[in-house]
């Protein structure tokens, strides 16, 4: 309907992603929502962030500009005196910075010549960490944490960029730093994801003992259960553990077979092509 409100359209966009993974419909509803006259500044920035996220999944060129608009609009949020408003705006900007990193990585992976890995490294170190630093005083005042405490997702992405660059030792060290920080402070990513990246890079350089330790740690962490992660992350974790076991064959082959069976039980509801291809290849 043409006269639908901002709230109605944004909710339809949310439902399209959460219920159906329908990013095209989500983008359509978010675009229409932003054309409406109602909706607060924070609400519209939040929808713009989700629109940028939808564009990433659709493989469009627009997410860079869309997310940059949100990041720039949230750079000087220190003047916000209301704690709940500050937290809301910080969360929007924080997630937009992270999604911009994912956007650049997605472009690089699909078209390597389009984005230089050095540019991704610079964006994380300069722009993302710089954005966080501007919020440091208010993070300490409102949330009793520092900008350093919030770096874990960006450190994990930094590790991934180092890996693509061929700096494997640096990738492991940085992923370990992100994982260690994530254990102290909850992040926008599941703790298991940070652990998986660290375990992957430990395995990559042949440090099988450390990789095994990380996999064992994540199974025994207090308060962290399988139900706390998505099926997608669960499949990624199991696939990475399977890779480790296959490299330790023949002594671990029976355990590898059992994990393969476990992975196959989860694949019927996975829609992400990469996770499916990787899981099927390993199983």
Q: What is the CATH number of domain 1-150?
A: 1.25.40
Q: pLDDT tens, 54-101?
A: 999 898 888 999 999 999 999 888 778 788 999 999 999 999 999 999
Cβ-contact 272, 256 below 8 angstroms: no
What are the φ and ψ backbone dihedral angles of 61, each rounded to 5 degrees? -85, -15
Assign 2 a pLDDT band (cuts: 50, 70, 90). Answer: low
**Residue 44 CB coordination number (10 Å):** 18
Mean pLDDT of the chain: 89
Confidence of residue 224 (pLDDT cuts 50, 70, 90): low
CB burial of residue 82 (10 Å; 0-12, 13-18, 19+): exposed
Q: pLDDT-based confidence at 118, cuts 50/70/90? A: very high
Model confidence at 24: pLDDT above 50: yes
Q: Which of 191, 125, 198 is nearest to 160 (CA)?
A: 198
pLDDT of residue 228: 59
> For residues 47 and 68, what is the distance between their CA atoms, to the nearest angstrom?
14
Of 102, 77, 104, the closest CA to residue 91 belongs to 77
Q: What is the percentage of the chain residues whose pLDDT exceeds 90? A: 60
The Cβ of residue 166 has, within 10 Å, a number of other Cβ atoms equal to 9
Peptide bond into 250 cis (omega under 30): yes
- Domain extents for the chain? 1-150
Does the pLDDT of residue 278 top 70, yes or no? yes
Higher pLDDT, 188 or 274: 188
pLDDT class of 235 with cuts at 50, 70, 90: confident
**What are the pLDDT digits (tens) for 139-182?**
998 888 999 999 999 999 999 999 999 999 999 999 999 999 99
pLDDT(36) > 80: yes
CA neighbor of 172 nearest in space, from 138, 206, 220: 206
Q: Assess contact for 154 and 194: CB atoms under 8 A.
A: no
Are the CB atoms for 181 and 197 separated by under 8 Å? no
Higher pLDDT, 147 or 227: 147
Class of residue 10 by CB neighbours under 10 A (exposed 0-12, middle 13-18, buried 19+): buried
Residue 230 has pLDDT above 80, yes or no: no
Q: Which of 29-43, 189-203, 249-263, 264-278 has the lowest mean pLDDT?
A: 264-278
Lowest-confidence segment of 27-31, 92-96, 270-274 by average pLDDT: 270-274
Looking at residue 227, its pLDDT comes to 45
Contacts of 20 (CB under 8 A, 6+ apart): none
Q: How confident is the model at residue 219 (pLDDT cuts 50, 70, 90)?
A: confident
């Amino acid at each position: 309907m043409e006269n639908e409100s901002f709230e109605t359209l944004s909710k339809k966009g949310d439902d399209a992603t959460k219920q159906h993974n329908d990013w095209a419909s989500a983008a359509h509803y978010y675009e229409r929502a932003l054309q409406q006259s109602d909706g607060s500044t924070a609400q519209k920035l939040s929808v713009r962030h989700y629109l940028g996220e939808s564009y990433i999944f659709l493989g469009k060129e627009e997410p860079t500009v869309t997310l940059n608009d949100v990041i720039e609009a949230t750079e000087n949020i220190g003047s916000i005196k209301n704690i709940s408003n500050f937290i809301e705006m910080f969360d929007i900007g924080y997630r937009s910075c992270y999604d911009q990193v994912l956007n650049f990585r997605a472009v690089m992976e699909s078209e390597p010549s389009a984005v230089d890995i050095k540019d991704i490294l610079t964006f994380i170190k300069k722009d993302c960490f710089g954005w966080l630093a501007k919020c440091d005083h208010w993070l300490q005042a409102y949330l009793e944490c520092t900008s350093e405490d919030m770096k874990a997702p960006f450190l994990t992405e930094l590790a991934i960029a180092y890996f693509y660059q061929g700096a494997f030792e640096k990738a492991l060290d940085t992923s370990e730093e992100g994982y260690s920080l994530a254990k102290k402070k909850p992040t926008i990513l599941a703790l298991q994801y940070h652990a998986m990246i660290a375990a992957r890079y430990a395995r990559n350089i042949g440090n099988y003992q450390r990789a095994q330790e990380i996999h064992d740690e994540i199974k025994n962490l207090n308060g962290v259960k399988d139900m706390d992660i998505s099926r997608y992350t669960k499949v990624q974790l199991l696939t990475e553990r399977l890779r480790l076991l296959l490299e330790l064959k023949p002594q671990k082959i029976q355990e590898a077979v059992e994990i393969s069976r476990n992975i196959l039980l989860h694949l019927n509801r996975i829609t992400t092509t990469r996770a499916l291809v990787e899981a099927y290849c390993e199983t």
